[in-house]
Structure 1
């Protein structure tokens, strides 16, 4: 599969997963077990039409747009500010959903706080708000050395989420995405990530946080029973759940539906899971009936093509 297919597939896959989850965000796993989501619907939780995506996709697209011109943390920050206060890269020109940590950080960015100091660093600021938007970095970083892959990932997380745990979750996710871009199967991408991450994060200052990732790094997350997988907005829960869904399914459709039907923070879980699945299965593996419902889909495909050319050349 060519890289252009994977780049556009990653962005669209993230967005479709997000849009699937928006209408059922905060619904319980039990209610979705009784009445599972099987297709792209609208309204319900946020009263938005089918195909509407949330802050997850918006901020990922802001990052992707910025990366078309290379890495510039201040430019990324400016686009985040423009999103929150002007509706930039939203489906309809207005923001309808934003996490508290992300809102706090972007307000700091607006007030001139430097990008690397904006994200709150306290223990309770470990939501999934940087993980949900980090995927486009995998394309930019694929051919960089390992040190730069981790360092840049951590920096981009820090724009909204400054705690080491959130940074490390992004680091793990990006390593898997990079392995998928190199043509690895999901299982191989996961195993190779474990080797890389174990080595890098075993050193300080990361070693003190390593315990939170043991179910991912020191065992096989896919072998856990469904009841052991949580789907809250906590960054560890989202990372674990997305990997569990991705490793336990064999199509894009089944992967994202499994994710969203876990309940809870469904839009972000759909986006984080859908981004990996989109890279692996590519554009051609995404259901046309869902692609056609996505708001501003041509803009998203155009963005993916632009990012591909900027990073990989024509």
Structure 2
């Protein structure tokens, strides 16, 4: 199946998959795993935790779309433009589903305040160890797609730079870089297990130097090659960046379809919207646009606006010969 899905379809699927995964998780955010075992998410729901209508996406997708729009406008990673869009989101409700914000992480909120106060974009995110939430991982997907034709090193550096606007600790930067490597391999038609192995190998080779080498301890499970062999009880689904990354990849590696991947992610409980968003990006890159249930996509808030925004991004994407299929 994977060999007949075009690169373009995988790119499209990754973007829509992230939004769909986010929206599936919004109504049940913070619910326990046990509660979701008793009443699992099987389709789009409305209201719930945040009282939002069915198809509502969260800050995850808002900041992802800010990033999409910045690339489309600037034709490159421009951290100053990206910062201004993040501030517009926080102040004016730019790139929100219904014109206002209903959920924002602490680290992201502090970073927005720093940006408004004139702190340079790549210094706005906090760099302490307690600022390793998943707020940069959840929005990093467009970076992976824009730099598909770059070297692995260029991709990782770009992911790090984009992360620093809200999350500057090396661990968060590294998690974003590893996710981008995996997305790229999936889009390039590498099967999930091999894509993950390739991503980990490139990651390990690059981060063999300070200050990153000290952080490799926190990637032990991910680098071990045993992630897919873990049971559900071994997988955490909190807002910690390492938990979200491991959970999303585990869902991909232990599933056989887009639906199975994202529903497994959301039904882990906890930070359901972000786990769903991050896993949805991976599943869409793996299985393509056609794998996303049409009724899940059609109900998304501002569907037509989002479709236009993503179409403009796809039109502007660099198309190196190696991937322009």
Q: Identify the TM-score tier after normalising by the shorter chain.
A: over 0.9
Contact 1:41 1:51 survives alignment (8 Å): yes
> Which whole-Å CA distance do the structure 2 matches of 1:184 and 1:305 have between them?
24
Partner of 2:292: 286
Q: Which range moved further: 83-92 or 145-154?
A: 145-154
What does 1:26-37 correspond to in 2, within 5 Å?
Answer: 26-37=30-41
Question: Residue 6 in 1 paired to residue 14 in 2?
Answer: no
3-state SS of paired residue (2:141): coil
> Which whole-Å CA distance do the structure 1 matches of 2:225 and 2:294 have between them?
36
Q: In structure 2, list runs of 5 or more residues that go unmatched.
A: none
In the TM superposition, residue 8 of structure 1 has moved relative to its aligned partner by 2.0
Contact 2:41 2:266 survives alignment (8 Å): yes
Partner of 1:233: 239
> Which whole-Å CA distance do the structure 2 matches of 1:187 and 1:279 have between them?
14
In the TM superposition, residue 48 of structure 1 has moved relative to its aligned partner by 0.3
Question: Residue 203 in 1 paired to residue 245 in 2?
Answer: no
Partner of 2:279: 273
Partner of 1:15: 19
In the TM superposition, residue 254 of structure 1 has moved relative to its aligned partner by 0.8
> Which whole-Å CA distance do the structure 2 matches of 1:88 and 1:176 have between them?
29
Question: Residue 118 in 1 paired to residue 124 in 2?
Answer: yes
3-state SS of paired residue (1:243): helix
Q: 1:304 to 1:7 in 2, by over 3 A?
A: farther
> Which whole-Å CA distance do the structure 1 matches of 2:19 and 2:241 have between them?
19
Q: Out of 92, 95, 103, which is 2:101 matched to?
A: 95
Partner of 2:64: 60
Query: What stretches of structure 1 move > 4 A for 4+ residues in a row?
Result: none
In the TM superposition, residue 146 of structure 1 has moved relative to its aligned partner by 2.2
What does 1:1-314 correspond to in 2, within 5 Å?
Answer: 1-68=5-72, 69=74, 70-312=76-318
Contact 2:186 2:286 survives alignment (8 Å): yes
In the TM superposition, residue 129 of structure 1 has moved relative to its aligned partner by 0.2
The aligned length equals 314
Task: Kindly provide the CA deviation profile for residues 102-155 of structure 1, in whole angstroms up to 9, marking residues without a partner as x.
Answer: 000011111111011000001110000000000011111111122211111101
Normalising by structure 1, report the TM-score.
0.98
In the TM superposition, residue 11 of structure 1 has moved relative to its aligned partner by 1.3
> Which whole-Å CA distance do the structure 1 matches of 2:239 and 2:39 have between them?
22
Task: Kindly provide the CA deviation profile for residues 218-247 of structure 1, in whole angstroms up to 9, marking residues without a partner as x.
Answer: 222111111010000000000000000011
In the TM superposition, residue 279 of structure 1 has moved relative to its aligned partner by 1.4
Normalising by structure 2, report the TM-score.
0.95
Contact 1:12 1:300 survives alignment (8 Å): no
Contact 1:25 1:267 survives alignment (8 Å): yes
In the TM superposition, residue 305 of structure 1 has moved relative to its aligned partner by 1.7
In the TM superposition, residue 306 of structure 1 has moved relative to its aligned partner by 1.3
Q: In structure 1, list runs of 5 or more residues that go unmatched.
A: none
Calculate the aligned-residue CA RMSD, in Å. 1.1
Q: Which range moved further: 143-152 or 226-235?
A: 143-152
Task: Kindly provide the CA deviation profile for residues 189-216 of structure 1, in whole angstroms up to 9, marking residues without a partner as x.
Answer: 1010111111111222110000100101
